[in-house]
Chain A
């Protein structure tokens, strides 16, 4: 089972906003290239630990950051 998951956002700007919001909330995260099986884009995504998904969801909702999907 995967121990991490990937959050994908519409734009690079939103990706960095999410990273900033996660870090401010103490959620460890890393920017990674969007995996090809998720998107043909050459952009970035945010990787976090699977067990932080609930916290991450709350942060995104609080800050009104729309997420395209989680893989």
Chain B
């Protein structure tokens, strides 16, 4: 199989990730931060080391403000539900994933006002008002891969005293993110995409000056005498037993990226994007959406073929050519509405770190054959 669905979750992982998960699950699956026996201490050390590695990769000065979650959705929900209250105003873009759209919609039912604007600095500048409590912006569209100018948007929001939550679901691990230099207030990342962790991992970074209320309550192994959650991070937000094997694998994935260099990952994916878009653009009837310059995109290409249902294209790629892609709305109906591809959606090809030029060549060849075959039927 040729796996080209890395925007959904990355596959394969670096071999070190499999080894680390297996070793921890077999030998070190005690409860971290609770008991004091040797295995529990080693489990807690794994959690600590992963926090430190993530801080290194994202240039975060306060690793204890990295809160482990089950995915980016969990991180986004913690930030949104923990910060916003009825009566507040929030500005977000019109290309967000449902992991942002739905919690904001739920809060809008009880008095939050939401402005959805184009992902441009000017649109955000125009929408921020005195009641604005938070800006939420994706770092890159999961539908077309377009990279958002977050540095400019953060500067505009900060000038108005508004913190910014960045959804890095499509960029963490494939586009360098310098939290300290950018001044990111809240950063939500999945562990299982560009960071190469197993599914069930993710994190939210909360800057020290941001006060987020917890949305999950329970045991933390600290201040057990209190019925309130502890008042310090990360414990305040990490109720319940953590996913130690998953976080161990995430740590191995992050170490892989530190070793390889995100710039090198980015260069490889950009070269594949170039090849993919050139190949698809040369096929009659194929329509590509979003920026045509690979340097303005993450590893995502959305296309449609005139007269063929995207679902049919996906099925043929899978069953006849052994190529895995994702079709439909990609959990981002607003983005597809803005593109004019709602409700059918499109075909999304998302190469990753371990794809090769040969993979792309075969994918383009397969799309060409699907179009040719359809043309022959219609002739």
Contact = CB atoms under 8 A, between A and B. Distances in A.
B220 to A, nearest CB: 9
Given A11-B232, A12-B32, A40 B225 contact: yes
B48 A16 contact: yes
B299 interface: no
B63 interface: yes
Given A41-B221, A41-B222, A42-B221, A13 B51 contact: yes
A44 B44 contact: yes
A40 B230 CA distance: 14
Given A31-B36, A42-B34, A43-B33, A13 B48 contact: yes
Interface in A22-38: 31-34
Interface residues of A, number: 16
Given A11-B232, A33-B35, A16 B224 contact: no
B223 interface: yes
Contacts of B33: 12, 43-44
Interface size class of B (residues with CB under 8 A): 20 to 34
Contacts, number: 53
A52 interface: no
Given A33-B36, A44-B36, A44-B41, A11 B224 contact: no
B48 A42 contact: no
Contacts of A40: 224-225
Point out which of A10, A11, A13, A14 has the most chain B C-beta atoms below 10 A from its C-beta.
A13
Q: Is the interface of A mostly helix, strand, loop or mixed?
A: mixed
A3 B64 CA distance: 32
Contacts of A12: 32-33, 44, 47-48, 221-222, 235
Contacts of B48: 12-13, 16-17
Interface string B89-116: 0000000000000000000000000000
Contacts of B235: 11-12
B45 interface: yes
A11 B64 contact: yes
B221 A43 contact: yes
B128 to A, nearest CB: 34
24 contacts: A10-B222, A11-B64, A11-B232, A11-B234, A12-B44, A12-B48, A12-B221, A13-B63, A16-B45, A16-B48, A17-B48, A32-B36, A33-B36, A40-B224, A40-B225, A41-B225, A42-B36, A42-B221, A42-B224, A43-B33, A43-B34, A43-B36, A43-B221, A44-B44
Interface of B: 32-36, 41, 44-45, 47-48, 51, 63-64, 221-225, 230, 232, 234-235
Interface of A: 10-14, 16-17, 31-34, 40-44
